[in-house]
Every structure is written in structure tokens, then in C-alpha cells.
Amino acid sequence: MNLRKFMVISMAALVLYPAFYVDANDTEIILKYSFSPPTIHQYGSRYVLEIKGCELTGDAGKPVLPVKPLYILIPYGKDVASVEVKCSGKTFVGNFPLYIADYPSTLDNLSINEKNDVAYKQEDYEVVGVYTKKGYRIAVINLYPLHVEENGEIYYYRSMEVKVELKDAKPNPLYRGFARDKIEVIKMVENPDAALSYRMLEKSKGESYRFVIITSKDLDKTFGQNTLRDFQSFKEKYGIDTKVVTVEEIEENPDYWGDSPLFNDTQAKIRNFIRYAYLNWGTDFVLLAGDANAIPPRMLWAEGEFHIGYTIPSDVYYACLDGSYNGDGDLQWGEPDDGDGGGDVDLMAEVYVGRASVDSQEEISNFVGKTIWYEENYDDYVPKVLLAGEDLGWGGDAKWGGNHLDQLIDECDDGGYYTKGIPSDRFNITKLYDRERYWSKSDIISKLNNNFHIVCHYGHSNYYYNMRLTIDDINAIKNEKPFFAYSTGCMAGGFDQEDCIAEYFTVKTPYGAFAGIWNTRYGWGAGQDEPYDIIDYGSQRYAREFWDAIFGENIKELGKANQDSKEDNIWRINELVMRFCFYEITLFGDPMAILKDVDFNAPEKPSMPQGERQGKIKNEYEYQTSSTDPDGDKIYYCFDWGDSSQEWFGPYDSGEEIKASHSWNKKGNYEIRVKAKDIYGRESEWSDPLPVKMPFFTLWLKIFEMNHFMAFWEWLLKILA
């Protein structure tokens, strides 16, 4: 045993860390969990058993069971050779029929199924897959502490030990060694100490672009107000190095070509370029600025109801960069065995992707104008939230979209898992629910024109219909302040079709939404039988995890929060329709945009800048300042250098001292002042100014800078002549 052996004693039932260690030779990882007896709930003639520290899950037509999902970080230079789980303390619970999970239904149709007992072989654990996030290998394993015998007898295990045998492997080629990548990973795994085996690397001194815009040559050439180049300038104003690259440039560069026709289409070349930008430019966010004609999605395969196969337009292909997504080389991409070596495809993101589905200068102007306004301003409409729930046509309480939307408010443990939602103590929530009174399109148009910040919808949709509005109705929306939308309706985000309604909300007009999340194909749900909230399905699981990312995990960037909602559900990916939803849920908007929280206070007035008060022109001087945000928000700083130039820096932690450098080109007296702005857009007043003098070189300074005294006289004679 050496320093790489870690031991932390805990009990899962007490919500502490598991016992964990890597052996001295880095050949295995061992994690130990303890479980308390299950609590038993009866619903009609069937039973649900819950175990503290576990979540409930149930694939369609199978019993609902408690599960302990594990995300286990594999050390650097290692991979999974095998997994073994030892169960002990097997204790009899009883013999009674368990609750059977419903088959999922689309939000357009109700699937009817009988809940008969089925032949069911209970496994003690499931290896979901080994995935990589930013070069870190992560094994996803489900433990089932409740065991069901073939004769119906039910037992639970008091403890379970997971042993992951390791083997040597080449480090993942997408590991780039950034501290910010490590921080993301350690937040999601059981064994964060394993991250110590991943050493940080020096950042490349070459080009660096954290934000990349991919568009077509024609769309890049548009002119007028609010072009993509204006959006690039806006990002750079706040210190975000940004690069615009065209599809034509990518396709013409052989560095991004594949080695066979199957992997050499436009989609593959774009993905190869994104992989290059991620590794060589430090890119974290990618905006696909073009509709499906300009930037085609990858059509991925997944199962829908009753194991029916579908192909789904998806931008996940551009976010998750490991492997080819078609390991067997057939015509179906994204199958569960299409990863390297026949395993699952990559489901953990290297970059965070959003799409502006534009195809004209006018649509670019609409998108850029709304996005810049939202990201640059804080407004008193931020607390306003609208929840619009329809009658879904299902049975029981599940028929009401409002019941599902209520799970997005505050804290919720329905469905056997816990999420945080929109805080009702900070946001003013308006409910437009069929559950109380049928509402019409005129009702929601009136609401939207009254400037809501967040709009969540649960109801029927199609490519050209959403929130009870057709594409022709969008022209009636004249809100002065754009909203963020999240809808679980079917197909409203099908941007591979001709101008879907998500495009009308986001880019077709200067009104409506600055961004939103919609499905490119069916929305899915279930729970039409009592009680509807025992286990939820598909779309609702991702919606709840999205709002949990925003308000529970404090992940504010839209692209990152959308991906987090998916990664939090990877342990369920083999359940019916979960992969379908994973692929289709699409962000229409800037993936780096921060969704605004209710912000009670602007940052304090920054301290007067400190630094040199007198200097020489063209020499660079450094100045320091700081501010505090009463809400603890991160802060941007704007330095006004007094020479008609201003620069933004940040964001920085509240109270952190920051430094900025500047040089002046002309003599004169200047005043340096600074203002602060938090990430939600609230600005401070300007700091007290620091006076700075930048004189010409004096005669005596010039003399002493000469190599020798005679040179001074030669210089003087030339001046006099």
C-alpha cells in the first residue's frame, strides 16, 4: 500500500462517501456500500420498495426497483478490464407483487399496456458503459440492492462491494490537462481522488478560442446590423476569444477529412474540426450558426415505444467527440454498440453546443440582437416565470401537464429521485393550466406579450405547432424582452424540416425567445396509471435535471446545463426512450449564455485603481482593483483608460483582486476608472478615478538615454539646423 491507496469510510444509507481505494499497483478500484432496510409502500395490489440513498428506476414492463448509480473515475492510463460485485447480508423482505413500470407514450398518443407479471431475471448490478469526458474515463455502473428471486421472494443486501479490475491503456487522446476540465469531472464521480493521477498540462501558447462559431460562407458574408461578426466582437468585448469558421473552410482542409467515404461527409468533417479546436484552441463552446442545409445534423438511431427504431436529427454528435459513432460501419449511427470495441457511443461532452438555425441576414440579425440584449442587461422582468400545461389525454393525474410542471418548482422527490427546480421564493410563477381552466392561444399570446423571462411548456406539439400556437400565430407575439423557453412537446425543434416552430420563436422575428430547448422528434412520458409519480419517463427526467443543473448545481450556462441534464441520466440510458430523448433534446441558442437568476444587488463600487501615476508613453503599466457582489455573483470589470478606450475582464470571484495592463500612445493627463458588472448584468457605479500623467520625454531624460555625451551635441546641432 502506498500514497495512492485512499480509504474513506462511509455508509451510503447515511449519505456519506463509500469506502474507496486503488491498490498499490493500480490494478483495481474497490468501493463498498452499506444499505438500510427498505421501506414498503402499497399502491392497490402492488408494492414499491425504497432504500435510503437509492433512486427508483423501472424499465418499461419491468418491476420498479431501487438503484444506486455509480460514476467511477478510472485512473490515468488505465481502462476497465472487468467488474465484479460481491453482495453480503442477504435479508428476506417478503413475497408480494412489485409495481410494474408503464410503457412510455408520446405526448401525442397514449400507449395502452396491461401490467401483467413477466418472467424477469434480476441482476445484482449493471455495467452501463465506460464513457470519457474531456479525456477522463468514467465507468457507469448501477447497483441493485433489492434482489427478486424467480419465485417472487424479495431480499435486500446490507452491503455491496464493487471491484473494478484495471488494465493498462493508452491515455485518451482527448485529454488536454486543463484545470477547469478536472473541476467538472470531480464533481460527478464517486472517487474524486482518482483525479490526482491526471496531471495538469501547460496550456498551448498558440491560438486560443474558447468560443467557436461555425457557419456557412454566405451567412458569414452578411452585412448590416447584428451580424455574426458583431456577435464575435460582443464575445471578445468580455474577454472571450472567439473564432468564426465556415463549413467551406472545414471541407476544403484535408486535415479534417476521414479515411473512408462513410466518415468523410460534411458532418464527420465538422466533428473532426471541432475535435481539433477543442484540443488545440482550448474550445469549450460551439455555436452552430446555420440551419440543417448549412450545418447538417447527424441522424442517430434510438428505440421508441415497444422497441420501435427511429432516426433522430441530433447535435449530440458535435458535442461528444470520442469514437466514430458508427463502430460497425452500417447505415445506423449512434446505436448502443457503435462505440469503440462494440461498447456504447460517447455520451459525455467535450464541448457544449447550441444551434442558431438561421438561413438569412435577417434571421442572423434577429438572433444576435436578442441574444446580445439578454446577455448584456439585467431587467426587472427576470423574476417572471410562465408555466403552460395542457391536457395530455392520458389517464389519471398524469393527464395534466400542470402536474408535471409543478415538479419543476422548488424541491421534488417524485419518481424516486431528488431535484431542485425554480425557486418560488425568488421567482414569480404564473400558471396557465388546463387542470384549472382550459386556455387558448390568445391567452398565451397575451401572457408572452407581457414579458416573461422563463416559459416552460408541457403539451402537444408538432413541427409547426407548439404552446397552442401555429407558425402563423408567432407574428402576434410582440414582447419587448426575449424569453427562454423549455418545451417537452413533440417535434417542435425538428430543424431538419422546413422552418420548424422553434425557429420561428428564436430567429424568424425580433420578438419571442432569445433561446430555448425543444425536441427534434417525439416528446415522451408515462404514468397514466395511479400513482402517476411513482416513476417518470423520458422528457420529464431531462427537464427536471435541467432545472436542477441551473438551480441545484449552479450550472448557469445553457449549453452546459442542457448537457448536464443528459449526463445525469446516463445511468438510465438503456431504459426505453431514454436514449431517444438524449439525442433529440436540442438547445436553440448561445450555449455560453448564462440564464439569469433573480439578482437583488449590483456589485459594490470598485476600489480606486492602484498603480503607477506617472510614466512614459508606449510603456505598459499594471493596475489593480476589486469589488464585492452582495449576492456572491461572479464579476466582470470594465476599465476606462481615459483615452477613449475601454476593456472588459472576467468573470472573477466576488472580492478577488484583479489586475489589468495598459499603455498610452500620446502624452497627456488621464483618469483611470473602473466599473463592475455581475454575470447577470447588474452594474455598479464607476470607481473614483486615478489620475495618471504620460509626459513626453524631457530633455534631460533624453540626454541620459544617449550612448555618450557627444551624441547629445550632434543631436542638438541637428535640431538647431
Specify the range with the lowest mean pLDDT, choosing from 4-18, 320-334, 593-607, 625-639.
Answer: 4-18
Confidence check: pLDDT of 8 > 50: no
520 Cβ neighbours under 8 A, 6+ residues apart: 297, 312, 313, 314, 491, 493, 494, 495, 496, 584, 586
CA 151 to chain centre: 44
Give the domain CATH number at 672: 2.60.40.10
In the listed set 554, 588, 622, which residue is the last one of a domain according to the structure? 588
Per the domain annotation, does 363 fall within a domain?
Answer: yes
Confidence check: pLDDT of 463 > 50: yes
pLDDT, average across residues 314-321:
98
Helix (H, G, I), strand (E, B) or coil at 403: helix
> Do 227 and 193 lie in a common domain?
no
Confidence check: pLDDT of 374 > 80: yes
> Do 245 and 130 lie in a common domain?
no
Domains held by the chain: number:
3
Report yes or no: 339 and 611 within 8 Å, Cβ to Cβ: no
CA 4 to chain centre: 32
Angstrom CA distances, 720 to 654, 698, 715, stand at 58, 17, 9
Per the domain annotation, does 367 fall within a domain?
Answer: yes
375: left (phi over 0), alpha (psi -120 to 50) or beta: alpha
> pLDDT tens, 470-479?
999 999 999 9
Report yes or no: 154 and 596 within 8 Å, Cβ to Cβ: no
Selection from 537, 553, 658 nearest residue 603 by Cα: 658
305 Cβ neighbours under 8 A, 6+ residues apart: 103, 104, 105, 106, 111, 524, 576, 577
> Do 441 and 529 lie in a common domain?
yes
DSSP 244-268: EEEHHHHHH-GGG--SSGGG-SHHH
pLDDT of residue 409: 98
CB atoms within 10 A of CB 498: 12
Per the domain annotation, does 602 fall within a domain?
Answer: no
Give the domain CATH number at 192: 2.60.40.3800
Angstrom CA distances, 341 to 161, 301, 303, 327, 627, stand at 27, 18, 21, 8, 52
pLDDT of residue 13: 34
Higher pLDDT: 108 or 644? It is: 644
> pLDDT tens, 514-553?
999 999 999 998 766 666 666 677 899 999 999 999 999 9
Read off the C-alpha cell for 381.
422582468
Selection from 207, 179, 182, 346 nearest residue 279 by Cα: 207
Angstrom CA distances, 630 to 403, 627, 640, 682, stand at 36, 10, 24, 12
pLDDT of residue 531: 67
In the listed set 197, 220, 238, which residue is the last one of a domain according to the structure? 197
Per the domain annotation, does 705 fall within a domain?
Answer: no
DSSP 510-552: SSSEEEEEEESS--EE---SSSTTSS--THHHHHHHHHHHHHT
Confidence check: pLDDT of 703 > 90: no
Give CA–CA dist 253/274, Å, rounded.
13
pLDDT, average across residues 656-668:
95
Query: Quick one: what percent of the chain has pLDDT higher than 70?
Result: 89
> pLDDT tens, 136-147?
999 999 999 999
Confidence check: pLDDT of 5 > 70: no
pLDDT-based confidence at residue 109 (cuts at 50, 70, 90): low
Per the domain annotation, does 710 fall within a domain?
Answer: no
> Do 30 and 145 lie in a common domain?
yes
> Do 397 and 421 lie in a common domain?
yes
Helix (H, G, I), strand (E, B) or coil at 229: helix
pLDDT of residue 660: 95
Specify the range with the lowest mean pLDDT, choosing from 62-66, 90-94, 476-480.
Answer: 62-66
The distance between the two most distant Cα atoms of the chain, rounded to a whole number of Å, is 113
pLDDT of residue 17: 42
Confidence check: pLDDT of 16 > 50: no
Give CA–CA dist 138/133, Å, rounded.
7
Per the domain annotation, does 604 fall within a domain?
Answer: no
Confidence check: pLDDT of 18 > 70: no
> Do 216 and 158 lie in a common domain?
no
Per the domain annotation, does 720 fall within a domain?
Answer: no
Confidence check: pLDDT of 214 > 80: yes
In the listed set 145, 175, 197, which residue is the last one of a domain according to the structure? 197
CB atoms within 10 A of CB 648: 17
> Do 556 and 632 lie in a common domain?
no
> pLDDT tens, 427-456?
999 999 999 999 999 999 999 999 999 999
pLDDT-based confidence at residue 204 (cuts at 50, 70, 90): low
Give CA–CA dist 714/365, Å, rounded.
61
Higher pLDDT: 458 or 1? It is: 458
> Do 431 and 360 lie in a common domain?
yes
> Do 185 and 241 lie in a common domain?
no
Burial (0-12, 13-18, 19+ Cβ within 10 Å), 138: buried
> Do 253 and 365 lie in a common domain?
yes
Residue 60 carries which DSSP code? T
416 phi and psi angles, rounded to 5 deg? 80, 20
> Do 619 and 574 lie in a common domain?
no
pLDDT of residue 59: 85
Segments forming the whole domain that contains residue 517? 211-588
Confidence check: pLDDT of 15 > 50: no
DSSP 432-478: EETTTS---HHHHHHHHTT--SEEEEES--BTTEETTEEGGGGGG--
Helix (H, G, I), strand (E, B) or coil at 51: coil
Give the start-end residues of each E strand in 192-344. Answer: 211-215, 242-246, 285-289, 298-303, 309-314
Higher pLDDT: 399 or 456? It is: 456
Report yes or no: 226 and 369 within 8 Å, Cβ to Cβ: yes
Alpha-carbon torsion 126, 128, 133, 135, what sign? Answer: positive
Angstrom CA distances, 700 to 151, 379, 696, 703, stand at 102, 56, 11, 5
pLDDT of residue 6: 28
pLDDT of residue 151: 87
CA 192 to chain centre: 21
Report yes or no: 93 and 58 within 8 Å, Cβ to Cβ: no
pLDDT of residue 221: 93
Per the domain annotation, does 284 fall within a domain?
Answer: yes
Give the domain CATH number at 566: 3.40.50.1460
> Do 379 and 514 lie in a common domain?
yes
The amino acid occupying position 675 is K
pLDDT, average across residues 322-344:
95
Report yes or no: 430 and 384 within 8 Å, Cβ to Cβ: yes
> pLDDT tens, 263-296?
999 999 999 999 999 999 999 999 999 999 999 9
> What average pLDDT is seen over the chain?
91
